[in-house]
Structure 1
Amino acid sequence: MENIWHHRRVAETAAKGCMVCYKPSASVLITPDSKDFFYICPSHLKDRNFALPTDDEAKAIADRKKKEDLDREIAAVKKEFDEKMKKKQQQKKDKAKDKDTKDKDKDDKDEKERDDKIKALTDKADSSSASKTGTDDGPRVFQLQKHFYNMRLEKMRNAEAAKRQRERLRNPSLFPSVPSGNP
């Protein structure tokens, strides 16, 4: 069994005790082949001494956060520019024609500045690698630390041994027969 675990969420009504702290948790780590799973708190997933996210997942999350930050910045710049434009249009109505020509020059400068800012931010966003969309903020693929991984392997071995023992006990030929001769 590989040491690769996928993070999944279950319904809050199906939450069970965390493997570490026994608090109810709706987060589950499961192997890709669905042979083993256990419930774990999201706070334990952030602990480097418990599990490490795979490199691809960590990069994807970092890229997603950068892209979201850039998108927020772009939206703020656009909003700021739109507010400036509304104020300037209001001023245009109030001022005389001679001042209108000066405002147009300023508007052109502001518009160029806005376009330059937006272009720089979009270039920055495009340069970052494409990230996949997801609802979780954390990574989705983990590798357990050696100690915890060995605990899971030992638990699986014990379960298999118990199953074999139950099968053997169901077999009547396992037990000795009653003596048939006189004592």
Structure 2
Amino acid sequence: MQDFFYVCPIHLKDRGFCSPIIDEAEVAEMKRKEEMEREIEKVKKEYEEKMKRKKQKKKDNDKSEDKDKKSDSAGDSNDKKDEKEKDEKIKSIQAGETTPKTDDEPRIFALHKHFYQMRIDRIRNMEMAKRNRERLNNPSYFPSTPKSDV
């Protein structure tokens, strides 16, 4: 018998109450997504470092007035190329990512035997009480008085 009910997160963390049912495919998918996120962060950091270096070079070039005109035109084209490279790397990494992000915690839990048996017993008791109420409401359930003097 499969049953479900809503439980607060504190009860889900209680080892004596329930245990998570872990899907191996989901775990592998989560690891893959984490690796992708790390790779994206790495690309972003590399891009930021390149931009910092270029700004420093630009400041050095600004000091000399002769090279100022050449560095602006070359710097702009290099900035555009770097931005395109960054965007391409991010798009290629995210190409595999099509599913929305999910929680790290499992969503399906198995209730421990004791608690499960308590739920089954409660359901059975409710059904028995319902049948008893129906029987008591039905007049044909009670025996009738004898009609003859035998």
* TM-score band, normalised by shorter chain: 0.5 to 0.7
Distance 1:145 1:167 in 2: 34
Bigger radius of gyration: 2
Instruction: Indicate the structure whose relative CO is greater, using CA pairs within 8 Å and at least 6 residues apart.
Output: 2
1:45 shift after superposition: 0.9
1:131 shift after superposition: 9.3
Determine the structure 1 residue equivalent to 2:14: 47
1:43 shift after superposition: 1.4
> Counting strand residues as a fraction of each chain, which structure ranks higher?
1
| TM-score (norm: length of structure 1) | 0.49
Determine the structure 2 residue equivalent to 1:159: 126
Structure 1 gaps of 5+ residues are 3-30, 32-36, 101-106
1:143 pairs with 110, 118, 122, which one?
110
Overall identity of the aligned pairs, in %: 44
Structure 2 gaps of 5+ residues are 72-77
Instruction: Indicate conservation of the 8 Å contact 2:20/2:106, yes or no.
Output: yes
1:87 and 2:55 are equivalent in the alignment: yes
1:62 shift after superposition: 4.8
| TM-score (norm: length of structure 2) | 0.57
Q: SS of 1:166's equivalent? A: helix
1:179 shift after superposition: 5.8
2:137 pairs with 149, 170, 173, which one?
170
2:41 pairs with 58, 73, 96, which one?
73
Q: Alignment length, in residue pairs?
A: 129
Change in CA separation of 1:71 and 1:167 when aligned onto 2, cut-off 3 Å:
farther
Instruction: Indicate conservation of the 8 Å contact 1:60/1:131, yes or no.
Output: no
Distance 2:98 2:15 in 1: 23
